[in-house]
């Protein structure tokens, strides 16, 4: 499963390019859940954690109006005087310095997504009213991109192409062998860092970033996995917060099985909505006379038996069943990308896996030249530290069997998602638990009813755990809300500027 992050401008641009490249060809060959979570009792609030000091940041011009810096933080917070690692940080200074409020620290999600690239590539996500009053500050969390990156394997083509929903002994053995060798490679190449990339560590880093940029209190905006960073930060440092927005919330109390079970069901619901929408719309490229579900099942079954060449893309890779399901899952993050998936399925039915294959590349961190960012490596390393995982492969198989009735399409994909953690050389360090952040100002938690990656009940749960939680709901499809709902954007922007939180329970269509 790909990392949880908000769909960015780079992905949207890639989708637009894919559609433009193949649209004429397709036209020529085409015929005229709610998940109930247990009530969570807030944990006893912990006092603000005292930490090491850090030097004031020295900004350097890095082009385009941006300023960049590296902040030195302890590799191991148990030994704050020991080895240091550098965190890469970027900011776009407020356009109205006279009315500047301070810094708005942002994180796009992941784990594994670059906050530096997010601020560079997606700055217009933040309206001009925010950019005029705030320095927009992004950072690469430890282990990610430019911040002491975790690197396991240089070429991940074979790793990502595997069938993640094994239905035979041979397929399961291949998946287990790959998970074991991947974990071993991570251990070999990251002996020092592998134990120090949990979200607890990232939350402590965030407070040192706050100190280094000279802010007595931070305003923070986290998307997707960035909400877990924010929630843990609020629990550790509740009095260091000016304002906090958590969009696409992760419930910090969930264990790994609860996390993947919730996602499997939510992705199943999202796929059903996509297929039903296409079946009702005769202009959908995969309308199939209204028999979209039946045709979808047939295409996916065919790909599992016979991986497809990427003819139009002129790519030597084959579209395997593993990559095909990654394409489907990735598009569920953003309903604006549904037409691209419809085109991909229409081409696949005709024997060309080009669009489906290309849809997987942005979510896997694969570059045009065939190299990979460290998105997957950082994602896996963080997940294996954040969530205690079973070391018995049979437990993953049992979870897949339990999920089959409620999530038949995504049961295996999510159940085996973290199989590498079964062989991880470092034990998990974070203990999933509820948070209360007693003493924090209002914290706005945003959830989308049709979110497949961070299901809506997680936002409800997190807002209820927080002593000052304010829940905002967007009715709709896709992952995160700020970039797709004017109503949410108005409410959140007003809060960040004026510290006037929206009404708890505000619902936006």
Active site residues: 224, 451, 479
Q: At what angle do helices 338-349 and 9-29 cross, to 10 degrees?
A: 40
The rounded Cα 106 to chain-centroid distance in angstroms is 14
**Contact partners, residue 14, CB within 8 Å, separation at least 6:** 358, 361, 362
Distance (Å, rounded) from C-alpha 152 to C-alpha 184?
Answer: 9
CB 79 within 8 A of CB 196: no
CB 130 within 8 A of CB 495: no
Q: Which of 204, 255, 276, 262 is nearest to 48 (CA)?
A: 204
Distance (Å, rounded) from C-alpha 418 to C-alpha 433?
Answer: 20
Secondary structure (DSSP) of 92-128: E--S-GGG--EEEEEE-EETT--HHHHHHHSGGGS-H
Residue 116 tokens read as 């530096």
**Contact partners, residue 204, CB within 8 Å, separation at least 6:** 49, 51, 73, 77, 236
Q: Which of 149, 147, 190 is nearest to 376 (CA)?
A: 149
Q: What is the DSSP letter of 84?
A: E
Q: Which of 440, 402, 420, 41 is nearest to 218 (CA)?
A: 440
Q: Which of 49, 140, 135, 11 is nearest to 88 (CA)?
A: 140
Spell out a b/e string for 337-353, using b for 16 or more CB atoms within 10 Å of the CB, else e. bbbbbbbbbbbbbeebb
């Amino acid at each position: 499963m790909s990392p949880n992050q908000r769909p960015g401008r780079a992905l949207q641009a890639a989708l637009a390019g894919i559609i433009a490249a193949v649209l004429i060809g397709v036209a020529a060959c085409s015929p005229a859940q709610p998940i109930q979570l247990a009530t969570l009792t807030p944990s006893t609030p912990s006092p603000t954690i005292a930490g090491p000091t850090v030097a004031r940041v020295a900004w350097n011009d890095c082009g385009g109006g941006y300023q960049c810096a590296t902040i030195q933080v302890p590799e191991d917070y148990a030994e704050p005087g020991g080895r240091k690692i550098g965190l890469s940080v970027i900011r776009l200074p407020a356009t109205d310095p006279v009315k500047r409020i301070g810094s708005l620290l942002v994180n796009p999600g992941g784990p594994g997504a670059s906050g530096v690239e997010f601020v560079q590539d997606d700055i217009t996500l933040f309206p001009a009213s925010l950019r005029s009053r705030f320095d927009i500050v992004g950072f690469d969390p430890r282990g990610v991109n430019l911040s002491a990156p975790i690197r396991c394997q240089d070429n991940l083509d074979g790793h990502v192409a595997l069938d993640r929903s094994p239905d035979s002994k041979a397929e399961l053995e291949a998946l287990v062998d790959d998970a074991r060798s991947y974990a071993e490679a991570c251990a070999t190449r990251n002996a020092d860092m592998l134990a120090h990339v949990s979200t607890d560590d990232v939350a402590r880093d965030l407070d040192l970033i706050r100190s280094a940029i000279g802010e007595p209190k931070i305003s923070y905006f986290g998307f997707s996995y960035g909400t877990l960073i924010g929630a843990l930060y609020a629990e550790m440092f509740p009095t260091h917060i000016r304002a906090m927005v958590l969009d696409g919330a992760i419930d910090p109390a969930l264990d790994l099985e609860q996390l993947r079970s919730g996602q499997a069901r939510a992705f199943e619901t999202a796929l059903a909505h996509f297929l039903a929408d296409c079946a009702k719309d005769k202009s959908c490229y995969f309308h199939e006379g209204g028999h979209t579900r039946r045709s979808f099942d047939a295409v996916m079954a065919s790909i599992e038996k016979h991986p497809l060449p990427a003819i139009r893309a002129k790519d030597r890779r084959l579209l395997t069943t593993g990559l095909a399901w990654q394409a489907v899952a990735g598009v569920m993050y953003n309903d604006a990308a549904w037409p691209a998936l419809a085109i991909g399925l229409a081409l696949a039915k005709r024997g060309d896996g080009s669009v489906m294959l290309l849809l997987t590349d942005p979510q896997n961190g694969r570059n045009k030249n065939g190299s990979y960012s460290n998105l997957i490596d950082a994602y896996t390393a963080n997940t294996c530290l954040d969530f205690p995982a079973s070391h018995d492969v049979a437990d993953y198989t049992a979870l897949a069997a339990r999920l089959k009735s409620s999530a038949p399409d995504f049961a295996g994909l999510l159940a085996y998602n973290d199989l590498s953690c079964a062989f991880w050389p470092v034990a998990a360090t974070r203990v999933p638990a509820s948070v209360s952040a007693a003493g924090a100002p209002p914290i706005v938690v945003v959830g989308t009813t049709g979110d497949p990656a961070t299901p809506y009940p997680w936002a409800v749960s997190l807002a209820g755990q927080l002593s000052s939680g304010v829940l905002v709901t967007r009715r709709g499809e896709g992952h995160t809300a700020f970039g797709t709902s004017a109503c949410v954007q108005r409410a959140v922007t007003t809060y960040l500027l004026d510290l006037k939180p929206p009404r708890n329970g505000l619902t936006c269509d």
